[in-house]
Structure formats: C-alpha cells, structure tokens
Homo-oligomer: A and B are copies of this chain.
Amino acid sequence: MLSRAATAASHSLIVASSTENLELADIYLAGFLDRRVIWKGDKLIDGVPETLDMLRSKGKRLVFVTNNSTKSRKQYGKKFETLGLNVTEEEIFASSFAAAAYLKSIDFPKEKKVYVIGEDGILKELELAGYRYLGGPDDGGKKIDLKPGFLMEHPFSYPNLTRVGAVVVGFDRYFNYYKVQYGTLCIRENPGCLFIATNRDAVTHLTDAQEWAGGGSMVGALCGSTQREPLVVGKPSTFMMDYLANKFGIEKSQICMVGDRLDTDILFGQNGSCKTLLVLSGVTSLSTLQSPKNSIQTDFYTNKISDFLSLKAATV
C-alpha cells in the first residue's frame, strides 16, 4: 500500500489514490547500493524487476543514483546484470559520473589535468569524458621522504607541464599523506584550481558488517589543509537533479526521489524540489518517520518498491 505522508505537525496517514501516485513523477530516481531499495546484500528485493518493467511500460524514466564513486556507470551496470536486472548505463547516475558531468557542464578546459583522490570509478568516468588525470590508485603506495630541503614536485613546479585545474575527492580506501599533500598543493598553488567532492557522506557501507568512514573523511582532510570548502556534486547537492531536469527537459517537480533514508535520500529530494517516496525496506522505520523528533518529512511512503505493482490496473 502506497501512502501519502502527512505534514510534520500531525503525523497521521492518508492513503493516496493510485492515480495520484503514479502520475506524481515523470522520472523516478532510486537510491541503490546497500540501501535496501532495490536489493539487500546480494539479493534483489522481491518484485523489483516487475516493478521497474511496469514503470517503464508507463513511459516513466528510471535513474539509479548513488554517492558511491568507487565504480563507474559501466561497472555498476555489471552489478545490476549479475542480479538479473536490465538497467542501462544511462539509467545509472553515480557520483563518479557526476564529477565528470560537472566538469563538462562548466566547459572545464581539456588541456588541464585533474588530480584524483579516489578509486577507479572516477578515473574511468573522467577518461570517458575526455579528461586527463593523475593520482587515484597509482598514488596509493607512495610515501613522503622528508629529508632536509625535500619538496614534493607537482605540475606547478614545472611551468611547461600541464597544470592541474581541478582536484576531485571521493571515497578512497588507499588514502594516504602523499595524496593529501599533492591535492593540497594543487589547490593552494594553482590559481583557480577547483576543489570538487563527489560527496561528504560520514559513513559508507563497504561491507554489511559495520559502518565504514565515508567520503566525508577524505574531503574533510582536504578542507583542513586547504581551508577551502568543496563543490559537492553528489547528494545532497542538487547538481544531479539540475543535470537530469536539464537533460530530459522537465521541471524538477516532475522528478520523484525514492529512497530508504530520510537524512540522505529524502532530504536530497527535498533540496532539489522533487517529490519524495520513502520505502520502509531499509534504514528508516515507520516509527522513526512518525517520531516527533523527526524533522524531515516525505511526500509518500510505502513498505517496499514493489507496492507499485498493486496499482497496475489503475489508469495511469
């Protein structure tokens, strides 16, 4: 059963009619990756393939969004494939892609380089977008040898070499001091160098056994050494929404963000002036949603994404 959530004041529930529900959006954005919207662990949630097929048959566009930047769209596509889900690359919007899309959106000069603190996904997306980069996993094993007079050389030291015009920072399990210093030098010493964060998530879900320090820690380190604030391209920044609305030529109010967390997904949808649908199959429970302590409200909520199927017969 799909329910329309009430205002924060009353916390009572109103069941929405099927017509209202399915006409509420032209694009459905779904948070994925350990978020228990689409799958749990390594298994699809029951009814998901049928739900996605049904929405597509009604002419709805689906976009799967994640702040995880460790993989590219192509690499995420394979993950969907192994789960038996038919999802194209164009339907995936990871923050690795968002970083490259942002650079394109501002016509970042192709002759400049990008320094990457992050994993393979960002490199792959930059390459596809036609940008040259350095850093990433290659710098994972590098150490600083601090003998007197030692300095770290970077493109700024050599006026004839290509300058770094942007530093992109995402989650990086091979984070080290070499990367902190290189990224810091680029930002501090290259005039106009951009500081772009894929996300600032405090925690991420690398394994299902515990919460892991997220991209917010890599970004926080660079903030601490540069005393600059980054431009964030992932959730909860509205870059993704703006980009999609622009790409599909629609209003953001025609987009519905579907997710399982109030403080990330639903807040992200609200920040982007989109409709929001909370699924209770993940982190946020009905009692959390209805708690007087909760200040984030969703437009709609339901137990699981496949509740859309019970509306199949309705006129949409």
Interface residues of A (CB under 8 A from B): 42, 144, 146-152, 172-177, 180-181, 184-185, 188, 200, 202-203, 206-214, 216-227
Contacts and interface: CB of A to CB of B under 8 A. Distances in A.
A202 B181 CA distance: 11
B185 A210 contact: yes
A149 B207 contact: yes
A54 B21 CA distance: 84
A307 to B, nearest CB: 29
B152 A210 contact: yes
Given A202-B225, A225-B202, A209 B149 contact: yes
Nearest to A182: B213
A231 to B, nearest CB: 16
Contacts of A206: 146
B220 A222 contact: yes
Contact of A217 (B42, B151, B209, B222): B222
A211 B181 CA distance: 9
Contacts of A219: 224
A150 B207 contact: yes
A208 B220 CA distance: 26
Contacts of A202: 224-227
A175 B177 contact: yes
Contacts of A222: 217, 220
